[in-house]
Structure 1
C-alpha cells in the first residue's frame, strides 16, 4: 500500500539548546523529529551562533546510515539472517542525547526522503528590534556568515556577539534573509521595522523575506493578515516559520526552567515570561498548513527557500597550511628533515629495518598529502625546545618513525611494536592525530607563538561544550523550583564526582524530601532532562585547528574567557565529523616537574640531564618500584598502580610499558590482568600459540594488552589487512553499543578457523579484543608515558629532595597533595625546613647541609592567599635578614594583610616570634603601606606589651593546615590517637588478621568506571596509609560518610593479595567532628590605651575573624577525588 502523501513543508526557524538557556531540545532530537514528521528541510538557527549545526549534521548522517542499513537488510533477507543495528548511536565522546544513546530504539521514519539540513543562524542586532534568519545559499555565503559572526564575537566579551545593521549590510550577500519583526507589532515598532526592512531589501534584492511566526494566542490569523499587508507594502514575500524551541511539547516545563535560569527568577515568579503552551514545537506540514490556511503561498515559499539553500556542511574543504620554506615544497622539506633525523638519532648508522620503514612512511605521507601537518608539529616542537620548554609527543604518533626522526616523539622505534596504520591509514581517509605534551606552566608560550605565526584569523583552539551535570542540575533546577538551600545542599552534596544522573528515591529521602510531593517529582524529572544540556562554550585543553586560508571563513571565532585566547565554536567531535585536522598542544605537569628537577640538579649538583641521557635500566629504580615506593612518580602513583607494582615486579623498561597499559579499563574488562600476572610469575603456563601469534604476543605472555596487538592478531591470525584491522580497532566500542559486533566476530573467528586455529581459542581471542572497547592503550602511547615513569622514578630514587622540591613547585598536579609529598620526602630522610621570612623564596628551594646533603626549604607559594608579587618584594628587600615584623613591613612595602598571612603561617619563627606574637605585631601596623621612617606619623602604631597564652600543639597543627595545608609538627591522628584506642595504626595492618577498625584522614577517593560502583579510599594516619575497598552496597549504606568525610573510621576485614593489604569496609563512620577538638579559641583581655578594656581572640584560630573550630575542620584536610 502506498504511504499517504505528506504536506510538504520546510521549517526555517529552529532554536536548539545551543541558544543557551532558551532552546529546550538537542539538535539531534530536532533532526530526528523532523525526519519522523516527514519535513522537507530543517534549518538550525541559533542566536548569533552555529555551534549546534554539526551535531545536527552528524545526526542526519546517522539516520541516513540507519536507513541504508535497513534497506540492505530487507534486500538480503532471502539470504538468511543478518546482524543489523537496532539502535541509533553517537560515535563521539559527548554527553548522551535521547535517540543517540545506543540504548534507544531507532526512530520509526516515514517512507519519505530524510529532511535536508540547512545551516544558518538567527542574527540579533544591537541597533534594531528586527531579528534576521540568515541562511547561506552557497559556500561563499557561508564564509561571509562565519566572518560576520566572528566580527561580532571578537568585538564583544566572551559569550556575546555585537552586530549592527551596517555589519549585516556589509556581509549579507548570498544569504536568504528572513526578517522576524518585533511582537507585538505596535505602531511605533512597525514604523521602525519597516525602515530596517526597506534598507536591507534595497541592499539585497530577491534575498529578503518577511517571516510570519504563530504565537498561538488566538490572534494569529489577524497577525498573519497584518504581516501580509506589511510584506505587500514593502514588496517582501511573506514566509511561514514555526519559531521552534523544542522537538516535542513535553519539553515545555523544561523550557520554563531555562527561562527562569536566564531571567534570574523562580517558577513562582516567572509570570508572563512563562510559555503559554507547548506549541513552540516542531510541527508537521499539515499542522502548519492549517495555521496558514489563508496564506498558502507563505508555506510554499519555505520549499523554494530550502531549494535555494544549496550549501551543505559537507561542502567545507579543509586546507592545511602549506609549510614550504624558501621555495622548498613541503614534502621535500619533510623528507630532508626526516633523513637528517636518521643521522642525529642513529650516529652509528640506522638499522636497515628503520630505513625501510622511513621510506614506506614517507611514501604514504606523500600519497595522502599530510607533509604540511608533520612539518607544523615539527616546527612547534622546535620552537618549544629553542625556549628550553620540555615536550614529548605521545599517543598513536609514537607508531611513526618519521615522528621520532623529526624529534616529535622520544620512544626509540625498535623498543616497541610499530603499526603505522594505527596512526595513518590511506583507506580510512581520516587525518592523523599527533598529541604533544608540554610543560604545563609554559605551554602558554607555545600557544601564543602559534597565534603569532599563523594569525588569529587562521588558528583557533577548539571549543569544549560545558554541560549540565548532576550537581549543577540539582542546584539550578532546585533553586528555580523553590527548594530550600539546605535541601539543595544535601542533595548535591551526595553526588559523586561528575555524575550524570538525576537523584534517585533514596537520595531524595536522605535529603528529607517527600516522594509524594508533586513539586519534588517534577523537579526530579526536570533535573534528569536538563542533565546533558549545554550550558556554555569553553576552550579545549589544547586542540588547535590551523588553516591555509581564513579559519573564520569556515567557522566563527570568538574570545575565550582567558586573555589572549580565541576559540572556534566547534568541539573536537564536530571537527572530526567534518574532517578537520587538529594539533593537540597539551599540558603535562610532570614535564614541568622534570624540567625543574633538571635545573635544580644543574644548580646544586652540576649534573646536566635531559630526557635522553638519564642512565637506562638502573636496577635500583626497579627495586624501588617493586616496593611500591612510588609516591610522586608519574602514572604509577595511584592506589591501583601502587597495589599492582609488587605483583608486576618490573625489572626492565618494557615492564613499565606493560604496567602503564595494564591498569586500564580495556585490559581489566578483557580479563587480561590475572592471566598476565600468573604467567609472568610462573604460576600459569604460557600457551604456545604458534610462531605467528607468539611473535605478536610473546612479550606479553600470550595476553593482548595493546591496541596494536589486537590489530596484529586480526592480521596474522584472521587474515585482515592492516587497514581492516584498524577499522576493527576503531569500531569495537561503537559497534558493540550498536549491536553489530557480531559481523566482525564472524569474520574474525572464521578467518582464524581457516588458518587452523581452534574454535574455542578463536572465540577467546576475540573476547579479549572485544574487552578493549575504546579503552585500551596503544603500545606507542604507553611507551611514551613509560619514559616519564622511568625518568621521574630515577629522580625520586637518586635525588628525593630535588624531586620533591620540583613537584611542590609544579603544583597543582599529580595524585597527591603537598602534605603527602612532604611526608614522603621526610620518610625518605629529607630534612624539610619551614617557611621563613629570612630564608624562603616564592618557590621551594634546596639548602646545602653541613653533611653535604640537601635540605628542602618550603617556599612562600605554600601559604594560602599570599601573592607571588609580595613574595618577590620580601625576598628582594631582605638583605641580611629582617629583625622584626615592622622592618619587613617598612623595607618590603607589603600590605599588613600580607604580614598577617605570614604570621598565620608561622613564617616569623626564625625571628623568635610565635604565631600569636607575630600576628599581634602585624595587627599593630595600622597603615596599609609604610609611612616615611622619620615622619611625625611614621610609627606603625604603638600596641601595648602583652603576654599571649602559648598555643597547644593541636592549635599549632590546625593553624599549619589552615595556612599551608600541611604541618611539619605532627599528624592530626597522632594527637587524636588517645581518643581512638580501638583504631589500629596503619603500619600494623600487614600483621593484622580478621576484623579490625582503622581511622584516618581521607587523602584520595577513587571510583573507576570499570569498578562496578566500588569506591577505593586511601586513609592516612601518623604511621602510614591504608587502602580501603568500599563495595557498592556498603557505599550505598554509608554514602554520605564515604563521599563527604574528612576523617573517617572504618570497620572491616583484612584482605591480602600477595604483598598488598586491603581493608574491606563493612561500616564507614564520619568522625570529622574530632578534628574540631584540635584547636579551641582563647579570649584574652588587653588594655590598649584607647579603651578601658579590649577582648581579643587569639586561640584556636589566630585569624582576625575567629572561626568556630567546626567551621575550620570543614575546610581542612581536603581529599583529592578521582572518578
Structure 2
C-alpha cells in the first residue's frame, strides 16, 4: 500500500538509508512496497539484492519531479519496464530539460499522477491518480468519487520522523543555496511524509478503502528480478560473432606473441602454462574480456600512446603475450590463481594506466567501438567539515564562526543554539550521498543495454554515466574495465621526445627494453643511493628511506619494496621485520616455520595480496574460493558483508581443529587483516617496478631532459620547485621565461632550461597563445615597443612578463621597462592589433633611474613562480652560521646537532593514541636531503610555520644506514624585508658567488 518511498539517494531530499528503510518495513510486517526515488534509480538494485534478507519484496520505479514539484511516478511492471523507465529518465538527465506534466506511454509500466494537480486529466489504461489523505475531502465532491478504480492511495515516505523532516529542510536549503528562513514551501516536502503504520493509513482512508486495495493491486502487478549470484558475468559476451570464434582468436593472438616475448623456441614450461591459462579463461567465460582489453591496447599502440597494464592481470602469461601487461609472470613466478581460478566468481581485473593526455581519446574509442558502454558513478557523500560549512551558511552564521566549528576546536556546551544545531545536523547528514560523481577509472561494457540496469546521466566530459557505483555493478555481474590516467607515463613519453630532439644520435632509444635496464649499473646506483627524484613511485621520502634501508639494487627487490611501502605492512608491524630479515639472514629464523614455509621468498612476511590467499589456504585451511573472498573482503568494500564474517569465523575454526593455539591464530589474523586492505598483488608491484625502471633509465642517462618532462607534466610527489632544484643539481641552468626563447611549457637548449609561460601565476592562456603565435609567424621581438605593437596585451599581463625578466634580451632594467609600459599601454582596455602599412613611431619617454637588484628579482620570482631561482639561503637576514651539512650527519650518530634546512614537504600522521606527529623533508645549503621526525610533544611546541628555512636541533639517528634527525627544537629563520617595498634603494648583499647553486639570469 506504500507506493511512494524515498531513500537518501533522492539527493538533498530524502533522509533514510536503504537498509534502514528495509528494516522498517520488515519491522512493521509489510512485504510489498515501492522504492521510487526522485529522478534516480541509484538505490533500486541494492535494495532488490538486500530484500530477501529482510523478507520483503519491493517493486521499483522513479518519482519524476522538477525540483520538489512532483509530476508523476512511474513503476516497472517487468525488467523491460524498468529498462524503459531508465531510458526515459536518462533523456531528461542527459538533456537537462524539464519533465512534462504528462508521462510518455511506455510498455510494461504504470503511472500515478498526483490527484490535486491532475483532476481533469484523461487517464490511459496503465495510469492512475494518487490520492493523499489531505485530498479526501476534495475527492468527495469530485467526479472521480464514482470512478475509484482509477484511484490509488498515495502516502509518501521521505523521512523517518520530525527530526528527519528537519534534516530534509536543511538539505533542501543546501540544494537551493538559500538561508533556511528563506526556503519556500514549494521547495520542500510535507511534514506528514514520514513513517506511518498500516493501521493509521487504513484509518485515514476508511471512507475510501478501495483506494488502498487499488494500491496493493498495483504493487502486485509489478515484478522485477535480477540475478545477484554472480555465476555468469553480464559483460559483453562475445568480441567476435560467437564464443567459438572468440576462443580461436584468443589462441591465435596468444601464440603469435611468443616470438616477441620469449623468442622462437620457448621452454615447454611456458607452453604448458599457456595451455593451462587458456583452458581456465575459456571455462570461466572471460575470453571476450581479454580480447576487448587487447583491442583497446592495440588501438593505443597504433596511436603511439604509452600505457601500463597492472593489477593482478600481470599474473597472466596470456596477458603478457597479448601485450596487455609488460610483466613476465614466468620470471617472477607469479601465482595465476590470484588472477583467475575455478573457485573465483569474480572476473579478472586489468588496470590500464595511460598518460593523462591520452586517456580521454581512449575513452572515446571505447564508447565508439562498443555498443552498451557507460562510465561508473561514485557517491560523493557529505563529509563532516563540508557539512558544517554548508549548514553554517544555511543558518546564516558568519564565516569566522563557521571556521571555528569546522576546525573542531570548540566546547559544544558553550556554543549558542544555532551553532549547536549546525554541529548536530552535520553529524546527522555525514555520510549521506551528496551528488553523483565519476569513478576514477571504471567503464562497463554490457551485453544488454545499460538502461536495462540503471538510468544514466551526462557529466561535462560527455560520456553516459551510471547511477550506481562499482559495488552495485559487481553485484549484478557488470565488471568494470579500469582505464586510468597518470602523469608518470606522460613524463616518460615527453622525455623520450625531448631526448630525440636534443640528442639526435639517441633517436632509437628503446624505452621498453626492460631486460637491459634491469642490468644497468647506473640504474643500480640510483636505486642503492635512493637518488630517484622525479621517478615513478620511488621518489617519495618514505620510499627513498626504504630503498636506503633495504639497499635494493635489483628488479625483484624493487618489486617487493613497492608493496612493502604500502600502509598495511607497516600497520601490521612487519615492515621492520622484513627489513631485518632482508638485511640480516640470521633473523629469518625468527619467522614462524609454517609462515616461512608458505612465503620463503619474503622471509615469512606477508608482502603481496597473494600472501593473504596463501596464508588463508595453507595456514587457515580455507579453500581457494573462501581464501579469495577473504582477500576481497579485506579491501574495505565488503568488510561488513555477512559472507566475509563467515569466512573469518571459518579461518579460526579451521585453525582450532588443526591444533593451532588461539594466540598464534589471532596474531596471524591480525597481521593478515591489517595488511590485506592496502597490499598490492605481486603482479601489480611488478608493473609499477617496470615503470619505475623506465623513469630511472631516463633519469640516469638524460637527467635534464627528464626533469623538463617532469616539470611539463605537473611534477610528481613534490612541488615544481624541487624538480627545478634537481635539474640544477644535475648541471642545468634554470632561466626564467623569455619572450623570444620560451614556450608555454619548459624547454631545454643544451643545458639551459627555460621555464614556461604557463608556470607564471596569473598569466592568462590567451596571452601565452597570442605571444607564441605572433613569434612563430613573424619572428623574434626586437624591443619592448616591437612587442607592444605586435601583441595585444593589457598592462597587468605585460607587467608579469617584465617582472619575471622576460625582456632581458633588451639589456634594459626591468623597472625602467615597467615604467615605460605604463606610459604606453592603456590600463583599462586594449584592442586586437590591426595590420598597418606603416607603423607610427612610438613616443620615447625619458625614464627615471630605477635600478633593481638580484634580491628584488628573487622576490618577483617568489610572487610569480612561487619560488626563487636563487639559493633560498641567500634571502636570510643573517647568513647561515655553521658548516654542518647532511653529508656530515653519519659522523654524529646519537648526538645532538644543529643544522639549517629549507622545507620541502611535510607528512602528517598520528600515533596509536591519536596524537599528531610529523615527518619533515628539508634541503641543506648544498642541496642534499635532511629527513626529520617530530614526535607529538615537539610537534605541538615547535609547529611548522609554512615554507622557508628552519634551524633544526635534534638527535641524529641511524636505522639501517638511513639517517634521520629526531627533532627536539625548531625555528623558522627570518628572511630579509621585501626590497621592492623597503625604504630607499636596496643594494644586493650577495653577488651569487658566495652561495652554491645561486643563478644569475644571464644567457
Deviation, 1:752, is 6.6
Q: Match of 2:531, SS? A: coil
Equivalent residue for 2:317, pick from 374, 379, 401 = 401
Task: Supply the distance in 2 between the matched residues of 1:773 and 1:922 (Cα, whole angstroms).
Answer: 63
- CA 25–1050 in structure 1, closer or farther in 2 if over 3 Å, else same: farther
The answer to which of 655-664 and 354-363 deviates more is: 354-363
Q: Match of 2:878, SS? A: helix
Task: Supply the distance in 1 between the matched residues of 2:113 and 2:39 (Cα, whole angstroms).
Answer: 14
Equivalent residue for 2:56, pick from 106, 111, 115 = 115
- RMSD value, Cα: 3.7
Query: In 2, are the aligned partners of 1:125 and 1:165 still within 8 Å (CA)?
Result: no
The residue that corresponds to 1:169 in the other structure is: 104
Residues 176-234 of structure 1, C-alpha deviations (whole Å, 9 max, x = no match):
211124xxx5xxxx5xx234x31xx23xx0x22222335xxxxx3x6455278354366
Equivalent residue for 1:368, pick from 284, 292, 314 = 284
The residue that corresponds to 1:107 in the other structure is: none
Residues 1033-1081 of structure 1, C-alpha deviations (whole Å, 9 max, x = no match):
665677xx55x73458587632514233434456777x69x57933553
Residues 859-900 of structure 1, C-alpha deviations (whole Å, 9 max, x = no match):
223222445564454344436532212322333555655433
- CA 302–974 in structure 1, closer or farther in 2 if over 3 Å, else same: farther
The residue that corresponds to 2:546 in the other structure is: 644
Equivalent residue for 1:52, pick from 25, 43, 64 = 43
Q: Does 2:519 align with 1:519?
A: no
Q: Does 2:119 align with 1:194?
A: yes
Q: Match of 2:215, SS? A: helix
Equivalent residue for 1:882, pick from 765, 781, 786 = 781
The residue that corresponds to 2:195 in the other structure is: 282
The residue that corresponds to 1:74 in the other structure is: none
The residue that corresponds to 1:69 in the other structure is: none
Deviation, 1:760, is 6.8
The 5-angstrom pairing of residues 146-225 of structure 1 reads 146-156=86-96, 161-164=97-100, 168-170=103-105, 172-181=106-115, 185=116, 190=117, 193-195=118-120, 197-198=121-122, 201-202=123-124, 205=125, 207-214=126-133, 220=134, 223=136, 225=138
Equivalent residue for 2:688, pick from 758, 765, 785 = 785
Deviation, 1:121, is 0.8
- CA 831–1076 in structure 1, closer or farther in 2 if over 3 Å, else same: closer
Residues 840-875 of structure 1, C-alpha deviations (whole Å, 9 max, x = no match):
122322212xxxxx4323222322244556445434
Task: Supply the distance in 2 between the matched residues of 1:231 and 1:984 (Cα, whole angstroms).
Answer: 93
Residues 525-584 of structure 1, C-alpha deviations (whole Å, 9 max, x = no match):
11222222222222222211112343234322221123x333222221221222202111
Q: Match of 1:978, SS? A: coil
Task: Supply the distance in 2 between the matched residues of 1:230 and 1:1051 (Cα, whole angstroms).
Answer: 87
Q: Does 2:371 align with 1:468?
A: no
The residue that corresponds to 2:351 in the other structure is: 435
Query: In 2, are the aligned partners of 1:708 and 1:779 still within 8 Å (CA)?
Result: yes
- CA 326–299 in structure 1, closer or farther in 2 if over 3 Å, else same: closer
Query: In 2, are the aligned partners of 1:249 and 1:280 still within 8 Å (CA)?
Result: no
Residues 925-961 of structure 1, C-alpha deviations (whole Å, 9 max, x = no match):
236246457579x659647332253334443223212
The residue that corresponds to 1:423 in the other structure is: 339
The answer to which of 306-315 and 779-788 deviates more is: 306-315
Equivalent residue for 1:541, pick from 440, 455, 467 = 440
- CA 707–970 in structure 1, closer or farther in 2 if over 3 Å, else same: same
Task: Supply the distance in 1 between the matched residues of 2:48 and 2:140 (Cα, whole angstroms).
Answer: 33
Q: Does 2:907 align with 1:1006?
A: yes
The residue that corresponds to 2:74 in the other structure is: 134
Task: Supply the distance in 2 between the matched residues of 1:738 and 1:15 (Cα, whole angstroms).
Answer: 24
Equivalent residue for 1:860, pick from 757, 761, 774 = 757
The residue that corresponds to 1:21 in the other structure is: 12
The answer to which of 360-369 and 298-307 deviates more is: 298-307
Q: Does 2:383 align with 1:484?
A: no
Deviation, 1:1023, is 4.7
Q: Match of 1:1078, SS? A: coil
Task: Supply the distance in 1 between the matched residues of 2:119 and 2:753 (Cα, whole angstroms).
Answer: 75
Task: Supply the distance in 2 between the matched residues of 1:452 and 1:842 (Cα, whole angstroms).
Answer: 32
The 5-angstrom pairing of residues 212-611 of structure 1 reads 212-214=131-133, 220=134, 223=136, 225-226=138-139, 229=142, 231-232=144-145, 237-270=150-183, 279-314=192-227, 318-320=234-236, 322-324=238-240, 329-455=245-371, 458-492=372-406, 494=407, 503=408, 507-508=409-410, 515-562=414-461, 564-605=462-503, 606-607=505-506, 608-611=508-511
Query: In 2, are the aligned partners of 1:267 and 1:481 still within 8 Å (CA)?
Result: yes
Task: Supply the distance in 2 between the matched residues of 1:277 and 1:1035 (Cα, whole angstroms).
Answer: 52
Q: Match of 1:1018, SS? A: strand
The residue that corresponds to 1:946 in the other structure is: 847
Deviation, 1:248, is 3.7
Structure 2 gap segments, 5+ residues each: 988-1003
Deviation, 1:804, is 0.2
Deviation, 1:695, is 6.4
Equivalent residue for 1:804, pick from 707, 724, 746 = 707
Task: Supply the distance in 1 between the matched residues of 2:177 and 2:591 (Cα, whole angstroms).
Answer: 67
The residue that corresponds to 2:867 in the other structure is: 966
Query: In 1, are the aligned partners of 2:308 and 2:691 still within 8 Å (CA)?
Result: no
The residue that corresponds to 2:679 in the other structure is: 776
Structure 1 gap segments, 5+ residues each: 1-9, 65-112, 215-219, 495-502, 849-853, 1085-1097, 1101-1123
Task: Supply the distance in 1 between the matched residues of 2:382 and 2:938 (Cα, whole angstroms).
Answer: 28
Q: Match of 2:156, SS? A: coil
Query: In 2, are the aligned partners of 1:320 and 1:581 still within 8 Å (CA)?
Result: no
Q: Match of 1:329, SS? A: helix
- CA 255–269 in structure 1, closer or farther in 2 if over 3 Å, else same: same
Residues 491-512 of structure 1, C-alpha deviations (whole Å, 9 max, x = no match):
54x4xxxxxxxx3xxx126xxx
Task: Supply the distance in 1 between the matched residues of 2:87 and 2:676 (Cα, whole angstroms).
Answer: 40
Query: In 2, are the aligned partners of 1:1000 and 1:1021 still within 8 Å (CA)?
Result: yes
The 5-angstrom pairing of residues 819-834 of structure 1 reads 819-834=721-736
Equivalent residue for 2:805, pick from 874, 896, 906 = 906
The answer to which of 117-126 and 535-544 deviates more is: 117-126
Query: In 2, are the aligned partners of 1:808 and 1:818 still within 8 Å (CA)?
Result: yes
The answer to which of 290-299 and 623-632 deviates more is: 290-299
The residue that corresponds to 1:816 in the other structure is: 718
- CA 794–253 in structure 1, closer or farther in 2 if over 3 Å, else same: same
The 5-angstrom pairing of residues 63-78 of structure 1 reads 64=53
Query: In 2, are the aligned partners of 1:421 and 1:726 still within 8 Å (CA)?
Result: no
Q: Match of 2:410, SS? A: helix
Q: So what's the TM-score if we normalise by structure 2?
A: 0.88
The answer to which of 372-381 and 839-848 deviates more is: 839-848
The 5-angstrom pairing of residues 640-719 of structure 1 reads 640-682=542-584, 684-687=586-589, 696-719=598-621
Q: Match of 1:570, SS? A: coil
Query: In 1, are the aligned partners of 2:38 and 2:65 still within 8 Å (CA)?
Result: yes
Deviation, 1:787, is 0.9
The answer to which of 623-632 and 694-703 deviates more is: 694-703
- CA 715–535 in structure 1, closer or farther in 2 if over 3 Å, else same: closer
Q: Match of 2:47, SS? A: helix
Task: Supply the distance in 2 between the matched residues of 1:54 and 1:782 (Cα, whole angstroms).
Answer: 35
The residue that corresponds to 1:499 in the other structure is: none
Q: Match of 1:177, SS? A: strand
Query: What is the total number of aligned residue pairs between the two structures?
Result: 969
The answer to which of 995-1004 and 424-433 deviates more is: 995-1004
Query: In 1, are the aligned partners of 2:591 and 2:603 still within 8 Å (CA)?
Result: no
Query: In 2, are the aligned partners of 1:1050 and 1:1066 still within 8 Å (CA)?
Result: no
Deviation, 1:722, is 2.9
Q: Match of 1:124, SS? A: strand
Deviation, 1:729, is 1.7
